[in-house]
Amino acid sequence: MSRVGVIGAGGAGLCAAKHLLAAGLQPQVWEATSGLGGTWRHSTRTGTDLYGLPIFSSMYNNLRTNLPKEVMAFPDFPFPSEDDTSFVHHTTVSNYLNRYATHFNLLPHIKTEHHVQKVAPLPNNSGSGNTAAGLLPRWAITVRDLKQQITTTDVYDAVVVCNGHYSKPSIPSLPGVEEYQGRQIHSHDYREPKPFTGQTVLVLGAGASGIDIAIELCSTAKQVYLSHNQKNNIASDLPKNLHQVKGASEATRDGFILTDATRVQADVIIYCTGYEYTFSFLCESCGVGVSRGQVTPLYRHIHNVLLPSMAFIGIPVQICPFPFFDTQVRYVTKVLTGKVSLPSPKDMEAITQQEFLQHMKEGHAPEDFHLMSSSQWEYMRELTDAAGEEPLPSVIKTLFTDVRKVRNNNLLTYKQNKYRFTGPETYEVVQ
């Protein structure tokens, strides 16, 4: 039986453990924090944890999901029906993931407070016995037991990387920022609006977090500038003290100069400027790099082209996370059990290169190679087809797509809506 190392016990790692176990493989999950759920495991603390590691979760106290729980759920494990809201508080998601782990008996396979420190490929002629479906190489994985303060290295047949990518802040360096006398934080460290009472706050970036945090801040802040360079202004009603302005291009002593040369004063800047992929535990010999927001070289955004017994779950962005992870994991499980063959490394490289060229030809930026949005459904369909697996019920795509439209035009009210699936293709709005 193949031993598979799984790094991280967030949604992706738990899903990997579930499907690998069901297929008769032996997963060993390591989780650096003291519990399950990854980013859904909220921490009031910022900075570093008990062991000096950076706080992992980016959840803020009042966060409610921006997707209804009906589409967020793994396809084989709905959220409990007793919570009759659709856009649930983050604690509901954390409880859900813990229930998922208990329900599928994953706990004996998970070691919390175990930090993966090094992953290195072994030479192809090392060891004997079954590899994962003949895939090579095997892996030496070095793990620190944080509580016992013991570091051990063991050999695994495959490795599935599920370490998330919403934890290491990406912060642009604004010219003149060293002169700025106000407070600067990244959304990773934002927890609640109270400390900003009466202040003028510039929220830089109007992605999902930027918009959500800017709206929440309006309850206490004097005024909030939502500073962004998106082509169109947000079309929805917004709080009266929220002003959409151009992106900040420069900092001054007491504020910012925007790209249209306007000046704004601000007591605080909150960078809602996203996160970086980071794989500090991967040795150079793994051959994986991050450049311009792209993790390379990955076949189908999953398998390391050079060393295909290494897979990554959840690299793409703008996806429907848990159903997406489930689809990727079912594919990887088929690969690791030998039911699906990967092309040769040379062919995987050529296919991936071709996909990237096509992406560029369509006028997209290189750093958006993992950005899926509406193409995620075709991508998932290709994976389930390739794996001979059931596709996702089409109602997930339908509701996901409909909710996005409603959200864009009704940012202040969309979370009041309640939805219920009425079949694999249909849903209803519950009154």
Query: Which residues make up the interface to ligand FAD (CB under 6 A)?
Result: 7-13, 30-33, 38-40, 56, 58-59, 65-67, 72, 115-116, 162-164, 166, 209, 281, 314, 321
Query: Considering beta carbons, is residue 111 or 364 the nearer one to ligand FAD?
Result: 111
Cβ closest to ligand FAD, residue 183 vs residue 191: 191
Q: Which three-class secondary structure state does DSSP give residue 258? A: strand
CB of 57 to ligand FAD, least distance (A): 8
237: left (phi over 0), alpha (psi -120 to 50) or beta: beta
Phi, psi of 290 (to 5 degrees): -120, 120
Query: Omega into 195 within 30° of 0, i.e. cis?
Result: no
Given the complex with ligand FAD, which of 326 and 389 has the nearer CB atom?
326
Q: Which is nearer to ligand FAD, 20 or 264 (CB)?
A: 20
Give me the numbers of helices (H) and strands (E) for the chain, helices first please: 8, 24
Pairing of strands 268-271, 255-258: unpaired
Q: Provide the minimum distance between the beta carbon of 96 and ligand FAD in the complex, in angstroms, as a whole number.
A: 11
Question: Closest approach of Cβ 284 to ligand FAD, in Å?
Answer: 16
59 or 258: CB nearest ligand FAD: 59
3-state secondary structure of 400: helix
Cα gap 135→7, rounded to integer Å: 19
* Least distance CB 205 / ligand FAD (angstroms): 13
Cα distance between residue 342 and residue 348, in whole Å: 8
Shortest spacing between CB 333 and ligand FAD, in angstroms: 16
Closest separation in Å from C-beta 30 to ligand FAD: 5
Nearest approach, Cβ of 140 to ligand FAD (angstroms)? 15
Nearer to ligand FAD, 30 or 277 (CB): 30
Pinpoint the alpha helices (H) of 271-343: 321-336
Cα gap 362→380, rounded to integer Å = 20
User: How far is Cα 252 from Cα 247, in angstroms, rounded to an integer?
Assistant: 14
Give the dihedral sign, CA 414/373/335/339: positive
Under a CB-based contact definition with an 8 Å cutoff, are residues 277 and 165 in contact? yes
Minimum CB distance to ligand FAD smaller for 67 or for 411: 67
Give phi and psi for 387, each to the nearest 5. -90, -5
Nearest approach, Cβ of 257 to ligand FAD (angstroms)? 29
Asked if omega into 297 is within 30° of 0 (cis), the reply is yes
Q: Is the Cβ of residue 142 or residue 265 nearer to ligand FAD in the bound state?
A: 142
